[in-house]
Structure 1
Amino acid sequence: MRTLMTADLTGAERSGIRRLLDLSFDGDFGDEDWDHALGGVHFLIAEDGVPVAHASVVQRRFLFEGRSWRCGYVEAVAVHPDRQRRGLGVAVMAAAERVIDGGYQLGALSTSDAGRALYVARGWTPWPGTTAVLAPSGVTRTEEDDDATFVREVPGGAPLHRAGTLICDWRDGDVW
Structure 2
Amino acid sequence: MFAKKLLGTSVLVTATALTGAAATQDVNSHWYTKLRKPDFQPPAATFPLVWPALYASIALASAAVLVPQAKKRATQKRRESLGVQVTRPDADPASDPARGYRRALLLNLALNAGWSWTFFRQHDLDLALGTATGLAVSSTDLARRAGRVHRGLGWALVPYAAWCWFATALTARIRTLNS
TM-score greater than 0.5 by the shorter chain: no
Structure with higher helix content: 2
Instruction: State the structure with bigger RCO (CA 8 A, min sep 6), 1 or 2.
Output: 2
Q: Which has the larger radius of gyration?
A: 2
TM-score, length basis structure 2: 0.28
